[in-house]
Structure 1
């Protein structure tokens, strides 16, 4: 019969504590090094189940990832050592699915992209640190539909050489071209 009961492994200054049921991990599992938490996980019948939390050396969470039957499923978050949110992304059955957002340290979005079953799908936008749009693109089934539009920090479109349109030309285009929508 496979072992059941408490699991407590120590190697050097590292420790793994959890439970076994019929030889498989079952219940909460905690990993520590030098007395500091490294990770906290949950298992059900040997499969990852529930939240997985990985910690920075300072003890703050680095990542919080939900698992369902051994696969990422739900909203995962990733944090800088100082605690601010760096990325938030949706997963379904282990694949990126839905919105994924990268953030600047001030909490404003740096990049917003969308996925369907692990493949880019829909709008993709990147932003300058001042909040203005830096890149705009659209994807269908992982394929870029048309060349991405690039923008200067003041919002002016960039030309083919990567230079911003003149302010006069930009102003004129905004007044004379039809509005999309």
Structure 2
């Protein structure tokens, strides 16, 4: 006979509680250590299905994800121990898909990238802490289409050696050419 029913397992300060149905995990599963939550998961017929939350030692969420048929599917968020959002990314059938954004502690973006079926696709942008563009690139099927454009914290483009254009050259370029960034 295959085991079914609720279970509570304890080893030292660790505690695991959930339900088995015909020997497979079914429904919510909770993991605690020293009476603090470590993870909250949901299973259907032995596979991850639904929300999953991982916790920092201080009890705040570290990651919030959604699973479908055992694979990440939907928006996943990752948080610093202080609670601020560090990363938000879309997944489809276990692979990065859609927009992925990493954040500074103040909530402004560090980088914005796009994926299609686990492969970088489309625009990629990285930013300075002051919010100005630091790097701009374009990808197709995981390949960089042309050399990335890099910028100093004041917005000036960087030359091939990584040095900002002179302020006069930059001003003249902005005055006579359409804006690129």
TM-score by length of 2: 0.98
CA distance in 2, matches of 1:46, 1:36: 25
Q: CA deviation at 1:147?
A: 0.6
Q: Tell me the equivalent position of 2:131.
A: 131
Shift of the alpha carbon at 1:175? Answer: 1.8
> Which residue does the alignment assign to 1:80?
80
**What is the Cα deviation at residue 114 of structure 1?**
0.1
Where does residue 19 of structure 2 map in the other structure? 19
The count of residues paired between Structure 1 and Structure 2 equals 181
- Establish whether residue 96 from structure 1 lines up as the match of residue 127 from structure 2: no
Deviations 1:106-156 (A, max 9, x none): 000110000000000000000000000000000000000001110000000
Per-residue deviation at 1:177? Answer: 2.4
> Structure 1: how far apart are the matches of 2:80 and 2:179?
40
CA 55–179 in structure 1, closer or farther in 2 if over 3 Å, else same: closer
Note the alpha carbon deviations across 1:13-61, whole angstroms, 9 max, x for none. Answer: 1010000000000000000001100000000000001110000000000
User: What is the root-mean-square deviation in Å for CA atoms of aligned residues?
Assistant: 1.1
Unaligned runs of 5+ in 1: none
Which aligned segments of 4 or more residues in structure 1 are displaced greater than 6 angstroms? none
Q: Which residue of the partner structure matches residue 64 of structure 1?
A: 64
Gaps of 5+ in 2: none
